[in-house]
Amino acid sequence: MHAGRGIVHSERAGGVGPAHGLQLWVALPTKDEDSEPMFEHIAADRIPEVPIDGGLLRVLAGEAFGVRSPVTVRSPLAYVDVRLQPGARLLLEGSMLRERAVYLISGHAQTAGTGHGATEMWVLEEGVDVTIEAEDDVHLVLIGGDPLDGTRHIWWNFVASDREAIERAKEDWRHRRFPLVPGDEVEFVPLPGL
């Protein structure tokens, strides 16, 4: 989903029980901040997989490990779902993206003798090779990209390079000038703090 000028959506579990997931937001390059909002669905069987010794990598968005995801992105980035068996090792080359981080969803892993546990995120040093070694069954995501063109500001669900754009979005939301969510026209979430 690309917000561009703004997009509204509704997230509902629909009585299926507990849900587990990660939601990642990626700021758009300045030239795309006012682009047309867009949503695309990519079927799971179109997500490229890279088998490695003792594991499986799925490139959910961007490009990594020699494959490119069909998900539309507007800047160089990678979002990789990684599953490792006990003892498996994954080399993250320093040349792979300038800004990188690893979020450990479950299991225990080590990097250069430092242990990491579930729900921990660590930021990798730019240009340095890092080897992740799984101590048990590990599920993690690798995220990263090249720096964007300038500073971004965030307030609630609004992100922009221009603070005034965020103020305008607040007013538009407050006065319900955003389109309604199709099929969910009744519920309205007010701005935080009001």
Q: What is the pLDDT of residues 139-158, one digit of tens each?
A: 999 999 999 899 999 999 88
Whether 3 has a pLDDT exceeding 70, the answer reads yes
Whether 165 has a pLDDT exceeding 70, the answer reads yes
Q: Which of 178, 175, 190 is nearest to 5 (CA)?
A: 178
Residue pLDDT, tens place only, 72-129: 999 999 999 999 999 999 999 999 889 999 999 999 999 999 999 999 999 999 999 9
Note the pTM of the prediction, 2 decimals: 0.86
**In the predicted model, what is the mean pLDDT of residues 165-184?**
88
For strands 77-84 and 114-116, give the pairing.
unpaired
How far is residue 174 CA from its own chain's centroid?
27
Assign residue 28 a region (left: φ > 0; alpha: ψ between -120 and 50; beta: otherwise). Answer: beta
pLDDT given at position 20 = 75
Contacts of 87 (CB under 8 A, 6+ apart): 54, 133, 134
pLDDT given at position 194 = 63
Residue pLDDT, tens place only, 23-66: 888 888 999 988 888 889 999 999 999 999 999 999 999 999 99
Inter-residue contact 160 to 170 (CB < 8 Å): no
pLDDT given at position 13 = 66
**In the predicted model, what is the mean pLDDT of residues 163-192?**
88
Whether 178 has a pLDDT exceeding 90, the answer reads no
